[in-house]
């Protein structure tokens, strides 16, 4: 997979940057703000690393961060704040989908290689 063509990582970096500034833009309560900034930094770090040194671990990490972000409004008691809730759900879903998409491509490519190696062994 071409490391410079990992558009999913670029979208994740943009989502992470948004998470870092969203508390100021949306006026999020303290718990939502901390969650957004911490998850945003994590997403940026993992997606940046994955952009230049692609591994499945970075994609799995961002998938978990995205899922955690979607759960955070209830875990950190800010589900009643509309902007915080929508921000966490939308960006969490975006990060999870982008990571899942990248993982699907990597795992599918590995499966094709495995299938090719094993189909020749049986012929």
Q: How many CB atoms lie within 10 A of CB 12?
A: 31
Q: Is the Cβ–Cβ distance between 12 and 43 less than 8 Å?
A: yes
pLDDT one-digit tens code per residue, 67-123:
999 999 999 999 999 999 999 999 999 999 999 988 887 676 667 777 777 776 555
User: What's the Rg (C-alpha) of the chain?
Assistant: 17
Task: Please state the pTM of the whole predicted model.
Answer: 0.83
pLDDT one-digit tens code per residue, 8-64:
899 999 999 999 999 999 999 999 999 999 999 999 999 999 888 888 899 999 999
| Domain extent for 52 | 3-121
Number of domains making up the chain: 1
């Amino acid at each position: 997979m071409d490391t410079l063509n990992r558009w999913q990582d670029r979208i994740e970096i943009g989502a992470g940057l948004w998470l870092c500034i969203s508390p100021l833009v949306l006026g999020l309560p303290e718990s939502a703000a901390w969650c957004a900034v911490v998850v945003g930094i994590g997403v940026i770090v993992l997606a940046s690393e994955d952009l230049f040194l692609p591994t499945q671990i970075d994609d799995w990490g961002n998938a978990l961060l995205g899922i955690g972000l979607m759960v955070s409004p209830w875990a950190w008691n800010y589900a009643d704040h509309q902007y915080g809730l929508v921000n966490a759900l939308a960006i969490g879903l975006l990060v999870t989908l982008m990571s899942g998409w990248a993982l699907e491509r990597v795992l599918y490519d590995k499966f094709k290689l495995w299938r090719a190696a094993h189909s020749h062994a049986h012929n």
